[in-house]
Amino acid sequence: MDGFDPSTSFSGEIAARYDDHLRGDEAETVAYLSALARGGPVLELAVGTGRIALPLAATGIRVDGIELSPDMIDRLRAKSGGPEIRVVHGDMSVDWAGDGYALIYLVFNTIFNLLTQEGQVRCFQNAARQLADDGAFVVEATVPNDFLALPGDQYVQAERVEADSVTLDVARFDRVTQILDESHVTLGPQGIRITPIATRYIWPSEMDLMARLAGLRLRERSAGWHGEAFDGRSARHVSVYGK
Ligand SMILES: C[S@@+](CC[C@H](N)C(=O)[O-])C[C@H]1O[C@@H](n2cnc3c(N)ncnc32)[C@H](O)[C@@H]1O
């Protein structure tokens, strides 16, 4: 997407509004991760505003983070418990928080925020370097099968319809680069607000190869946080890799 800069895509108003509409899977994510953490320490790649890290840390586990957006880090630090989360400001595909982590996790489709195959491979390698020998690396992401059925490889969806404003989700998928160029467009009393995001979608099979390149193997895969069976119709996956 021309003019899109990943390093500023979660800044300013986006960071300020991030927690206004939570995803809703926080409790089940924390339950799943805390069971895998075996007492920690734990590292969240792209920790954001601490949506998962804060309730996970509240279970008594040490949680660290790596995060690209200073504004998201500020939001995290302003919350109760935020100052106790050690956050490295940097890129999860290259930057270092430490080693010997019992659990490293990357949720909410955020592996897709890295826009090249090379960057995504480096992210697996960076996770592997920081993981304890018996540690687990958890990736949770959508399976992008539906993009292959989009008429014209594009869509417009009504994301929010209110009395005085609408938000449209406008997107186009490139089958070669696997990049989805997307913009959330809000029309309302304040005028037009455009919130662009580009993401590189990968299927679980490509992810497993990235893990192999990083010296990791798939240990288990489910279709959700409750161990749901994963099959060809699953819309998302929770994958656990280890050395
Ligand atoms: C969808 S949010 C997820 C935040 C948090 N993990 C959660 O589940 O709420 C994506 C986050 O990834 C961060 N991010 C994007 N690219 C990154 C990178 N290369 N390294 C570290 N963080 C990154 C963004 O700044 C943003 O905070």
Token pair listed for 97: 């928080």
Residues with CB under 6 A from ligand 1: 6, 10, 46-48, 51-52, 66-69, 72, 91-93, 107-108, 110, 113-114
Burial category of 106 from C-beta neighbours within 10 Å (exposed 0-12, middle 13-18, buried 19 and up): buried
Q: How far is the CA of 228 from the centre of ligand 1 (A)?
A: 25
Three-state DSSP state, 156: strand
Give the pTM: 0.96
Per-residue pLDDT of the chain (243 residues; tens, 9 = 90+): 888 998 888 999 999 999 998 999 999 999 999 999 999 999 999 999 999 999 999 999 999 999 999 999 999 999 999 999 999 999 999 999 999 999 999 999 999 999 999 999 999 999 999 999 999 999 999 999 999 999 999 999 999 999 999 999 999 999 999 999 999 999 999 999 999 999 999 999 999 999 999 999 999 999 999 999 999 999 999 999 999
Q: What was the pLDDT predicted at 2?
A: 86
Q: What was the pLDDT predicted at 21?
A: 85
Cis omega (within 30 of 0) for bond into 41: yes
C-beta pairs of 114-122 under 8 Å, 24+ apart in sequence = 114/200, 115/6, 115/179, 115/198, 115/199, 115/200, 116/200, 117/200, 117/202, 117/206, 117/210, 119/93, 120/93, 120/200, 120/202, 120/210, 121/210, 121/213, 121/214, 122/93, 122/94
Q: Whose CA is nearest to atom 6 of ligand 1?
A: 47
Given the DSSP bridges, would you call strands 131-142 and 101-106 parallel, antiparallel or unpaired? parallel
Q: What was the pLDDT predicted at 25?
A: 95
Which of the listed residues 113, 122, 236 should we mutate to test ligand 1's pocket, taking the one with most ligand atoms within 8 A of CB? 113
Closest atom of ligand 1 to CA, residue 92: 20
Closest atom of ligand 1 to CA, residue 15: 27
Closest atom of ligand 1 to CA, residue 72: 27
Domains present along the chain, CATH in parentheses: 6-142+203-242 (3.40.50.150), 146-198 (2.20.25.570)
